[in-house]
Amino acid sequence: MEIDSLEALKSLIEEEIYLIPEDREAILAQLETQSIETPAATTAEPIQAIVPAATEVSAPAPKHSEPRSAPLPVVEEVVSEPIPVRGNFSKGLLILHEESSLPADVMEMLVKMINACGHSMNEVGLLASEYLEGRSMEDFQNLNAHTILKFGRVKHPINAVPARPYEVYSEKETEFLFADSLTVIAEEVALKKKLWTSLQVLFNLTKST
């Protein structure tokens, strides 16, 4: 039976016990030693190493290669066909007429006037208005006409030439004479005379009496 303290020991012994100081101190030291509870050894929990989660390293975004410039389209030079002219056109004398085709009587009148001016129809070029539509002034200049007679209305930039009707107009080395359509002139004697007067000036002819 363990002795808890001096008081408990005293209760068991009825007679008085006298202890010398050395014994008394030894007993007290023994009791104090027994009364002290040995603390339970704590089981150390295993220390888990905290390993940081692997940082996700995103792969670098692929560099977008600069788009290659598309090759420039090859522009083919469009060469327009020459404006079609009827006749030999050997002297650079060009007659523009409004009509698609000239009636026989109108053609006869024209031939007489050209012959009276000292030229033949073999030297003349005839060009209907319809063949001038959509053609540029450059296309027209490529014909290299030196004398231009325009009869009636034509759809072409040549209309911008500031020539007055039945009056000769010169621009550089080219001479212009604008008049009514050949069909209208053939029907009116006054216009025939007016045209003849203009042609005499154009070709430097002496006026007949």
- Pull the structure tokens for residue 137: 């002034």
Query: For residue range 103-157, what is the model confidence (pLDDT) as tens digits?
Result: 999 999 999 999 999 999 889 999 999 999 999 999 999 999 999 999 999 989 9
Residues 184 and 152 sit within 8 Å (Cβ to Cβ): yes
Tokens of 132: 């001038």
Answer whether residue 126 is part of any domain: yes
Kindly state whether residue 61 falls inside one of the protein's structural domains: no
Question: Is residue 154 included in any domain, yes or no?
Answer: yes
pLDDT exceeds cutoff 50 at 33: yes
Among 13-27, 33-47, 157-171, 195-209, which is the least confidently predicted range? 33-47
Q: Would residue 21 count as lying in a domain?
A: no
> Residue 130: inside a domain, yes or no?
yes
The CATH number covering residue 178 comes to 3.40.470.10
Domain count, the chain: 1
Task: Judge whether 143 lies within some domain.
Answer: yes
What confidence score (pLDDT) does residue 154 get?
92
What DSSP state is assigned to residue 120? -
138: containing domain: 93-202
Predicted model pTM: 0.61
**Is 3 inside any structural domain?**
no
Closest CA to 160 of 185, 178, 172, 173: 178
The pLDDT score that the predictor gives to residue 122 is 87
Written as one string, the DSSP assignment of 129-169 is GGGTTT--HHHHHTT--SEEEEES---SGGGGS-PPBTSEE
Q: Who has greater pLDDT, 72 or 133?
A: 133
